[in-house]
Amino acid sequence: MHTPLKMNSYLLISLGLLLSCSSVKKSTSASTDKQLLSDVEVLSSDAYEGRKTGTKGAEMARTFIGERFGNIGLLSFQQLKGYEQPFSFDKDGGTFNGKNMIGYIEGKTDDVIVISAHYDHIGIIKNEIYNGADDNASGVAALLKFAEYFKANKPNHTLIFAAFDAEEMGMYGSIAFVANPQVSLEKIKLNVNMDMISRNDKGELYACGTFKYPELKKYFITTRPKIKILFGHDDPKLGPEDWTNQSDQSSFDAKNIPFLYFGVEDHKDYHQASDEYKNINKAFFTDAAAAILEAINNIDKDRNLQSIFREKLQLKKQ
């Protein structure tokens, strides 16, 4: 993730509305929270050497994610090798090879929501391992949690779960995904991207994308009162504080696909060797993941999602 400076004012989403949408079942929350934290701990351990694109650590991360996808029961696309989508890109005079990890759950319709998080980080610098627990093992762990939930609770929309590579080098994994999609781009109704969702001492989680798509605000109903979900960081007038192009949702936005991006503001351990599992805020993280899942669940239940943005997208294409 690449987030610049802090922003002073946001619109706070009311969290008191609890009646109109059903919440995610609480009976399994303890076990899923344990798995959520375990996944972060594994992916951000020293053995993975910071998961830099093209390294042994990145390959280990793919193996882990692939095994989790398989155990959950995600389907794979025929045109891929297992769950792997290979791609290459040129940067700084060299050619790099990356691999996205892509799986899906078939819904009751073939309209698609892509749920994404990048699994790469920045590797080893001056013999120090940059483990990237918050950035972005946290997003990948949440993605796996959501996959488990929707495997047990069949969604209305077909859900693609995309763990992108090479975000830190310039969002190349998500660029490759939209350039060579496994389904028609017209079928993708929304991208929900997560990048850094486990660290905020004030309980603040940011939801970007509602500036362009205010229709999405109505889905933010959560049973997690300790989480303050804030709108913002998505107005083009903010310049460097506009996060629209700061993570993988940028690639979807470039194709006029509506997006929601969840993340926190930069903290002292951002892109530092100290971004370790021991420093994440476990209570905040589990609540944040649960709140995001509730929002996705609310969105998925709207069978008319495909028509919400139609007029706006048609205007963009003119």
Residue with tokens 């109505």: 218
Residue given tokens 């280990």 in the structure block: 60
Residue 42 lies in a domain: no
* Residue 87 domain-assigned (yes or no): yes
Q: Coil, strand or helix: which one is 49?
A: helix
Name the phi and psi angles at 89, rounded to 5: -155, 155
pLDDT tens digit sequence for 95-118: 999 999 999 999 999 999 999 999
Q: Would you say residue 33 lies in a domain?
A: no
Is residue 4 one of the residues assigned to a domain?
no
Distance between CA atoms of residues 223 and 298, nearest Å: 12
Q: In this predicted model, what pLDDT tens digit does every residue of 269-282 receive, in sequence order?
A: 999 999 999 999 99
Helix (H, G, I), strand (E, B) or coil at 114: strand
- Indicate the pLDDT class of residue 305, thresholds 50, 70 and 90: confident
Report pTM.
Answer: 0.90
Question: What is the tally of structural domains in the chain?
Answer: 1
Residue 161 sits in a domain of what CATH number? 3.40.630.10
- What are the tens digits of pLDDT across the range 17-64? 333 344 445 545 788 899 999 999 999 999 999 999 999 999 999 999
- Distance CA(194)–CA(173), nearest Å, equals 14
Q: What is the pLDDT of residue 3?
A: 47
Q: Are 291 and 228 in contact (CB under 8 A)?
A: no
Nearest to 287 by CA among 68, 29, 27, 44: 29
Residue 300 burial (CB count, 10 A): 21
In a domain, 35, yes or no: no
Give the domain extent around 76: 11-19+49-317
